[in-house]
Amino acid sequence: MPDPRPASGLDLSRRDVLRGALILGAAPGLFAGQAHAQPQAPALHTTGRSVAIFGGGVAGLSAAHELIERGYEVTVYEPFYLGGKARSMGVPGTGTDGRADLPGEHGFRFFPGCYQNIPDTMRRIPFPGNADGVAGNLVRVDGAIAGFRDLPPIFAPVELTGLRHLTPELLQTAIITAFSFIPQLPPLELAFFARQMAVWFTSSNERRYGQWEYVTWEAMLQAHGKSAAYREYLVNALTRITVAAKPHVSSARTIGTIGEALVLAGSGLIPQFSGGVDRILSGPTNEAWIDPWVTYLRSRGVVFVMGQRATRLHLRDGVIAGVTVAGSGGTRTVQADWYVCAMPVDKTVPLLTGDILDADPHLAGMPALTTDWMVGIQYYLRQSTRLPQGHIAALGSPWAITALRQAPMWRGDFAARYGDGTVRECLSVDVSDWDSPGIRYGKIAKDCTAAEIAAEVWAQLKRWLNTSTDWLHDGDIHSWHLDPGVTWSAGGIHNETPLLVNSVGSYDNRPHAHCAVPNLFFGGDHVRSHIDLATMEGANESGRAVANAVLDAADDPAPRVPIHPLVSLPAFEPIKQLDADRFRKGLPHIMDS
């Protein structure tokens, strides 16, 4: 595999590029539409149909969905809550007179139009009154508010209009037009940013996996020496608010992949990306999606065992013979024909004991995967803000704040449905940077109490949004709710639900849906996928891949689950072919030389 150490910039030597080209030539399954190609496992001669899935998040539920529809006996073991990081939850004791508790969540959900797998699943989940099931609860968002420190906020459309086709030149023009609202940004630097995006769009898969995987996004954009506006807004803020990633850590391939998908979703040129750039649910996630999903799966025969966590995999004669689970009732051993670890990466790694790693040495890379924090807080307001509908991005805020007005886009009267009848607005906020000092206390979020976090986030929202308007008022705050996954103890702060970080070279360490142990499978947003990011889409795709891997291992003739790759523009293919030739010769991209 290529050297996993982070590259310091784009000054790769000809020898470095040649080395990557030779390595990739020996391992073609890493790219060219085979990003999730799976290793061959020894055949397991069984016709058994019992499946034990450990983890009831999006990955586990997706695998259960596909397998139960193909006639398997599926049991899901979940220690806490079904839905995982995607779930919503009521704030206990806040609902009165028949109203539901105020809705809280790990963080607000959004479904870009480039998501294809998860909407397909949603269409197959019945929902009363919706012909297309839960997918009918998706609401399109047409614009976003960009807030700047001490400068007037701007309402910007999230889609590129007027495009009939796209060439590298038109792409650069569209990007320059889309981001021309950013203040104090030198025009030449905006043009350079657009050119680098065109470099990405026209890079071959060989270069993406052989070069850009080992370069940070910050280095690809050559941020060093650029203006403060370029570094703060284009490089850092756009990355943090879009994918909650740090540009000086994240692989350029990962950020480029999702950036390209979002641009194409906003272009209107890809029929498969028909949902636009941005969609949200028309209500709390559990009401609009997770609860109907669980109800459907139960109706098909899925058994859910709550309060049980997998603690040990038992390997015997080259296969998993059982899994120890622990809960309030003690420990016991679960036995099935097929076993799926659909837990987050930080919960899966402790299960990879020596005998498992001996059976499949590739899994030894999983402990090297890293996680970071993106956590949500909700503010419940007595008065509706006058903010335009859509997402809110506090560009350049220390804690990388993004937010969403939920009440106006949800079905029904918010005050009549939730809380004590006085709450008219839910402003849901994501905090993506927990390691930078804030503006009120001068502390990083990890050093703050819950009350200090609430006060600091509100202060940053006001500083970035109330510069020329009067949208946010302290007196309107009824209460707030911080994700309960964040807890405090004598040992300090703890986050139960961190997210995978796609650092440079980390693709090498991510597992496939199945491994060399023939009845063991992996699901989760850390499993290799087309979207290549810790997202609901990636988790759903991994669940589909798990189902297909089980069918393959069982030699089952049932129809395979469709897995929808990201779509690229055919017009760029000739340039990509040229770039593939250049990469194999050890030459840089023709626009980057």
Q: Is 39 a domain residue?
A: no
pLDDT at 4: 30
**Which pLDDT score, from 0 to 100, does residue 162 have?**
66
In a domain, 316, yes or no: yes
Q: How far apart are CA 127 and CA 287, in angstroms?
A: 10
pLDDT at 35: 41
Q: Pick from 40-49, 170-179, 217-226 the range whose average pLDDT is largest.
A: 217-226
Lowest mean pLDDT among 138-147, 181-190, 574-583: 138-147
In a domain, 294, yes or no: no
189 pLDDT band (50/70/90 cuts)? very high
Residues 340 and 435 in one domain: no
Q: Does the pLDDT value for residue 34 go beyond 70?
A: no
State what percent of residues in the chain have pLDDT above 70.
91
Is residue 134 domain-shared with residue 164, that is, in the same domain? no
Task: Say if residue 1's pLDDT is above 80.
Answer: no
d(CA 564, CA 551): 18
User: What number is the average pLDDT over the span 444-465?
Assistant: 97
What pLDDT digit, counting tens, does each position of 149-167 carry? 888 998 877 777 667 778 8
Q: Tell me the average pLDDT across 324-330.
A: 93
For residue 32, pLDDT over 50 is answered with no
- Parallel, antiparallel, or unpaired: how do β-strands 309-316 and 319-327 relate? antiparallel
Whether residues 476 and 514 share a domain: the answer is no
- Asked, for residue 45, whether it belongs to a domain, the answer is no
356-413 pLDDT, tens digit per residue, is 999 999 999 999 999 999 999 999 999 999 888 888 999 999 999 999 999 999 999 9
Residue 8 falls within a domain, yes or no?
Answer: no
Contacts of 416 (CB under 8 A, 6+ apart): 99
Q: Tell me the residue range of the domain where 202 lies.
A: 14-30+159-276+568-584
Q: Cα–Cα distance between 88 and 86 in angstroms, integer? A: 7
pLDDT at 45 over 80: no
The answer to the question of residue 36 being in a domain is: no
**CA separation (Å) from 316 to 231, 324, 517, 546?**
53, 14, 10, 22
Q: Please give the single-letter amino acid code of residue 191.
A: A
User: Which residues, other chains included, contact 330 with Cβ-Cβ below 8 Å and sequence gap of 6+?
Assistant: none
DSSP H or E segment with residue 264: helix 252-267
* Closest alpha carbon to 333 in 305, 317, 352, 311: 311
Q: Using the structure block, give the residue that is written with the tokens 């499978």.
A: 521
Are 70 and 89 in a shared domain?
no
Instruction: State the pLDDT at residue 46.
Output: 62
Q: What's the mean pLDDT when you consider all of the chain? A: 90
pLDDT at position 593, please?
Answer: 65
**Max intra-chain CA distance, the chain:** 72
Q: What is the pLDDT of residues 104-162, one digit of tens each?
A: 999 888 899 999 999 999 999 999 999 999 999 999 888 889 999 888 998 877 777 66
What is the residue type of 492? G
Which residue shows structure tokens 């898969």?
A: 205
In the structure, what pLDDT confidence band is assigned to residue 48 with cuts at 50, 70 and 90?
confident
**Judgement on whether residues 396 and 442 belong to the same structural domain of the protein:** yes
Q: What is the pLDDT of residue 10?
A: 38
Q: Do residue 395 and residue 471 come from a single domain? A: yes
Q: Which of 495, 523, 538 is the last residue of a domain?
A: 495
Tell me: do 463 and 382 sit in the same domain: yes
User: In the numeric block, which tokens belong to residue 418?
Assistant: 């939730």
Instruction: Express each pLDDT in 479-515 by its tens digit.
Output: 999 999 999 999 899 999 999 999 999 999 999 999 9
Could you tell me if 389 and 446 lie in one domain?
yes
Question: What type of residue sits at position 323?
Answer: V
- For residue 161, what pLDDT is reported? 66
* End residue of a domain, out of 477, 495, 513: 495
- Taking a C-beta distance cutoff of 8 angstroms, is the pair 459, 437 a contact? no
pLDDT at 164: 74
Give the CATH number for residue 547: 3.50.50.60
In tens, the pLDDT along 281-321 reads 999 999 999 999 999 999 999 999 999 999 999 999 999 99
Lowest pLDDT segment from 46-50, 73-77, 395-399: 46-50
Residue 70 has pLDDT above 90, yes or no: yes
CA distances from residue 286 to 88, 90, 126, 283, 291 in whole angstroms, order as listed = 5, 10, 14, 8, 5
Region 193-209 average pLDDT: 96
Q: What is the pTM of this model?
A: 0.91
CA nearest neighbour of 349 among 311, 307, 305, 306? 311
Show the 3-state SS of 231-247.
HHHHHHHHHHHHHCCCC
Strand partners of residue 371: 500
228 and 240 together in one domain: yes
**Does residue 522 lie within any of the structural domains?**
yes
Residue 268 pLDDT: 82
Give mean pLDDT, residues 320-338. 96
- Count of Cβ atoms closer than 10 Å to residue 489 Cβ: 7
Mean pLDDT score, 325-335: 94
- Res. 178: pLDDT tops 90: no
213, 258: one domain: yes
> Same domain for 196 and 268?
yes
Number of domains comprising the chain: 3
Residue range 92-96: average pLDDT?
97
Confidence of residue 5 (pLDDT cuts 50, 70, 90): very low
Residues 361 and 381 in one domain: no
Packed helices 14-26 and 573-584: angle between N→C axes, nearest 10 degrees: 110
The predicted-structure confidence for 236-262, as pLDDT tens digits, reads as follows 988 877 666 789 999 999 999 999 998
520 near 313, Cβ under 8 Å? yes
